[in-house]
Chain A
Amino acid sequence: MVLGTYKEIVSARATDKQIQKVSQDGGIVTGLLAFALEEKIIEGAVVAGPGKELWKPEPMVAMTADEIIAAAGTKYTFSPNVMMLKKAVRQYGIEKLGTVAIPCQTMGIRKMQSYPFGVRFLADKIKLLIGIYCMENFPFASLETFVSEKMGISTDLVEKMDIGKGKLWVYTQDDVLSIPLKETHGYEQSGCNVCLDYVAELGDVSTGSVGSPDGWSTVITRTDGGDTIFKQAIDAGIFETKDMADVKPGLGLLEKLSAQKKEKNQKTIDKRKEMGLPVPF
């Protein structure tokens, strides 16, 4: 299946105005982690928190809703959240843990749960794994190149970054700049070219903007645990939802992009195999 195994797909957004203001799209990750924390479904979450440099996130263990909200918004470079999971269940004392991860990290976490070498007593403590859609991810130096070289402004001025409609968008206080996505090609991390997962197929819940209107996200619930928590949050009024059939551009776009990633990267994999190079699958 092009979207992986799932229970349900809906379009949703957080009802909280504060979350809407800081979130990338529908505020699903922020809203769901904050809800799980307040309902004591989790005791803390590893999130991509603000780092020393603007737009260079660092993994952070959030133990309050405020800390989760402070980490809201997409950063288009990696935050090694997986690294922080062990510390979260050790020194932070968290026995019920949530986290947010891009597809490759999601795969890593699931593998780590199956083969817990060096991470004893961690597997059973991950209660909520939210995966986010990802076509590719950029090293921080690439982001700096896009913003300061291609768009010609300092990264310090950037208030929000976004990818959509074939472009990388940068919002400043009084300007909106963009470059076509094809100009970013070649700047992604090389591993992205052999990744077949667009929609975080191993998450408890996966989410991203694609398929839903602006300000909304497409949410895929995949596991019993993920489905239950998301439904509880809807019942509690944390999220409002719409049927995917009723929204534009709709599920078709998500399926198309997922299929494109698989097809394109499978070619890279096949080519590497032909050349006798290693592939991760």
Chain B
Amino acid sequence: MSERIVISPTSRQEGHAELVMEVDDEGIVTKGRYFSITPVRGLEKIVTGKAPETAPVMVQRICGVCPIPHTLASVEAMDDSLDIEVPKAGRLLRELTLMAHDINSHAIHHFLIAADFVPENLMATAINSVSEIRKNAQYVVDMVAGEGIHPSDVRIGGMADNISELARKKLYTRLKQLKPKVDQHVELMIGLIADKDLPKGLGVHGQPTLASAKIYGDRTQFDLDRFTEVMPESWYDDADIAKRACSTIPLYDGVNVEVGPRARASVFGGFKDTGVVAQHVARAYEMKTALSRAIAILDELDTSAPTLADFDVTGTNKLGIGAIEGPRGLDVHMAQVANGKTQFYSALVPTTWNIPTMGPATEGFHHEFGPHVIRAYDPCLSCATHVMVVDDEDSSVIKNEIIRI
């Protein structure tokens, strides 16, 4: 006899989502569905019709977990729409901001999964390690981008300012000192995840991976023609779930995909492993990659070079694409500017890609492992929400259409 296990909301993640698993007599998941139930805010609508500079400032507030990728994807989309060539130092500083943010964000995820993997006697060690890494990573974002959470100095055309030679040296020294700490942390987490002895094959699915670059992101590697978007109605084979799901289903080459650290490692790093453990391992190693790149940027940066291009905001209505490899995967923002105003804005965010893949990834194992599968994606729902108009009284759907976040 089949039974239905519902976890709502799923915990230790950002935003609100629901995991619905149909299980057999043994408790094995036969059908998994995961969907966002985070309410819509309408940010894509808010920025439309306003000056292009408004967009990065507004959309970074989509979420406090990955404001940096949203800001970067937004300015990159605007740069592309306005045909701006960002100076080299500006590009390096943007990349440095993202590298530091990646380290910070992955460290936060280790805090979120600590209860799953870290034994009590090591809990304080692991959490202190997370805090120490975050403190240093956020210091970099503060210095380079103005603010650690919602950076004020990432601008269309580059960055507001270069950093001083004093700042460059300080950051370089700090990050060099952080390296053994991060190495140790990565070792600790990978060891503890292996010790957990999760069932072999947990979270393995047959869907392809999607990534635009190993680090930072590359708009030329995202082909808009291969992208389609369907409504939850035509995706979930359960009328009730389809009605309540708040995210659209993005497809690449007509199928759902996986994005994130494991996807990047598999596309660009020859990483073959799949499933929950592989996702955690790829994420942990990415902290080392990001730190090495951050140190290399600080080594290379010319602190006297210009960081901001001159540009004209009039625009030609060209569809600009910003593709950023955020901690949770590919974050694509699209913008069109004409007559000095944003005419169209759309954000295609990391967790949205993963949502249709995450549910089925729970299948074939006991439902108790369901939350493990979900957390391995480090889902962040607030940016994923894209849908629908509901009745204030009884929350029923009154109009079914894509609403821009």
B143 interface residue (CB < 8 Å to A): yes
Contact B164–A93 (Cβ < 8 Å) = yes
Closest residue on chain B to residue A44 by CB atoms: B166
Closest residue on chain A to residue B171 by CB atoms: A93
Q: Nearest-CB distance from B165 to chain A (Å)?
A: 9
A94 interface residue (CB < 8 Å to B): yes
Chain A residues positioned under 8 Å from B161 (CB to CB)? 87, 91
0/1 interface trace, chain B 335-361, chain A, CB 8 Å (1 if under): 000000000000000000000000000
Q: A120-B147, A120-B148 are in contact. Are A90 and B142 (CB under 8 A)?
A: yes
Closest residue on chain B to residue A92 by CB atoms: B164
A171 interface residue (CB < 8 Å to B): no
How far, in angstroms, from A94 to B168 measured CA to CA in the complex?
A: 11
Contact B142–A92 (Cβ < 8 Å) = no
B402 interface residue (CB < 8 Å to A): no
| Residues of B in contact, count (CB < 8 Å) | 17
A-B contact count (CB 8 A): 39
How far, in angstroms, from A92 to B148 measured CA to CA in the complex?
A: 16
Contact B164–A91 (Cβ < 8 Å) = yes
| Chain A interface main SS type | loop
B144 interface residue (CB < 8 Å to A): yes
Tell me which residues from 76 to 102 in chain A have a Cβ below 8 Å from any Cβ of chain B: 86-87, 90-95
How far, in angstroms, from A63 to B166 measured CA to CA in the complex?
A: 9
Q: Which of B143, B148, B169 contacts A91 (CB 8 A)?
A: B143
Q: Nearest-CB distance from B160 to chain A (Å)?
A: 8
How far, in angstroms, from A213 to B220 measured CA to CA in the complex?
A: 71
Closest residue on chain A to residue B147 by CB atoms: A120
Chain A residues positioned under 8 Å from B162 (CB to CB)? 91
Contact A90–B148 (Cβ < 8 Å) = no
A115 interface residue (CB < 8 Å to B): no
Contact A93–B148 (Cβ < 8 Å) = no
How far, in angstroms, from A120 to B144 measured CA to CA in the complex?
A: 14
B146 interface residue (CB < 8 Å to A): yes
0/1 interface trace, chain B 145-180, chain A, CB 8 Å (1 if under): 011100001000000011110111111000000000
How far, in angstroms, from A92 to B163 measured CA to CA in the complex?
A: 6
A43 interface residue (CB < 8 Å to B): yes
Closest residue on chain B to residue A95 by CB atoms: B170
Q: Which of A63, A91, A95, A121 contacts B163 (CB 8 A)?
A: A91
Contact B170–A93 (Cβ < 8 Å) = yes
Most B CB contacts (10 A, CB to CB) among A61, A63, A86, A93 go to A93
Chain B residues positioned under 8 Å from A91 (CB to CB)? 143-144, 146, 153, 161-164, 167
How far, in angstroms, from A87 to B146 measured CA to CA in the complex?
A: 7
Chain A residues positioned under 8 Å from B146 (CB to CB)? 86, 90-91
Q: Nearest-CB distance from B83 to chain A (Å)?
A: 27
Chain A residues positioned under 8 Å from B163 (CB to CB)? 91-93
Chain A residues positioned under 8 Å from B170 (CB to CB)? 93, 95
Chain A residues positioned under 8 Å from B167 (CB to CB)? 91-93
Q: Nearest-CB distance from A144 to chain B (Å)?
A: 30
Chain A residues positioned under 8 Å from B166 (CB to CB)? 43-44, 63, 92-94
Tell me which residues from 286 to 336 in chain B have a Cβ below 8 Å from any Cβ of chain A: none
Tell me which residues from 230 to 255 in chain B have a Cβ below 8 Å from any Cβ of chain A: none
Q: Nearest-CB distance from B38 to chain A (Å)?
A: 27
0/1 interface trace, chain A 93-134, chain B, CB 8 Å (1 if under): 111000000000000000000000000110000000000000
How far, in angstroms, from A120 to B139 measured CA to CA in the complex?
A: 11
How far, in angstroms, from A163 to B283 measured CA to CA in the complex?
A: 65
Q: Which of B142, B168, B169 contacts A121 (CB 8 A)?
A: B142
Chain B residues positioned under 8 Å from A120 (CB to CB)? 142, 147-148
Q: Nearest-CB distance from B286 to chain A (Å)?
A: 26
Chain B residues positioned under 8 Å from A93 (CB to CB)? 143, 163-164, 166-171
Q: Nearest-CB distance from B208 to chain A (Å)?
A: 41
How far, in angstroms, from A237 to B164 measured CA to CA in the complex?
A: 31
Beyond A90-B146, A90-B153, A95-B170: 8 further Cβ-contacts under 8 Å? A86-B146, A87-B161, A91-B163, A91-B164, A92-B167, A93-B143, A93-B171, A120-B142
Interface pairs (15), CB distance under 8 Å: A44-B166, A87-B161, A90-B142, A90-B143, A90-B146, A91-B144, A91-B161, A91-B162, A92-B163, A92-B164, A93-B164, A93-B167, A93-B168, A93-B170, A120-B147
The 8 closest A-B pairs by CB, nearest first: A93-B167, A92-B164, A91-B161, A93-B166, A91-B163, A93-B170, A90-B143, A93-B164
B contact set with A: CB distance below 8 Å? 142-144, 146-148, 153, 161-164, 166-171
A contact set with B: CB distance below 8 Å? 43-44, 61, 63, 86-87, 90-95, 120-121
